[in-house]
Amino acid sequence: MTEVLDATSRIQAIEQTLTQNNVAGLNTQLTQISTQMTNILEQQRTLMDLRSKVERGATVTDSIGGKLETYDMEIEDLWKAFDDLVKNPIR
């Protein structure tokens, strides 16, 4: 008889623990977590695409920067030549 009472009290303790831990609601929580993980993965893909675009943009602007430096030097040289011509005109 004490074994039956022991088993009954154990079952009640298990049921109480399951109720307290909301085991029945775990499926809903797991579904929500799954949805959130899917959203996170989609956002991560978007961020990776943006990162790739930023890297390509940086490559383009870096090459433009090099060309601009060349143009700046050429313009400076032209102004120097113009100033030299003003100071010493060719006759």
Rounded Cα–Cα distance for residues 91 and 83 (Å)? 16
Continuous H helices in 21-89: 26-87
**DSSP category for residue 91:** -
Say which residues have a Cβ less than 8 Å from residue 24's Cβ, sequence separation at least 6: 18
Q: What is the pLDDT along the chain (91 residues), one digit of tens a residue?
A: 667 678 888 888 888 887 777 777 788 888 999 999 999 999 999 999 999 999 998 888 887 877 888 899 999 999 999 888 888 877 6
In angstroms, what CA-CA distances link 3 with 6, 8, 12?
5, 8, 14
Rounded Cα–Cα distance for residues 2 and 64 (Å)? 88
Q: Which domain holds residue 22?
A: 2-87
Q: What is the pTM of this model?
A: 0.49
Domain count across the chain: 1
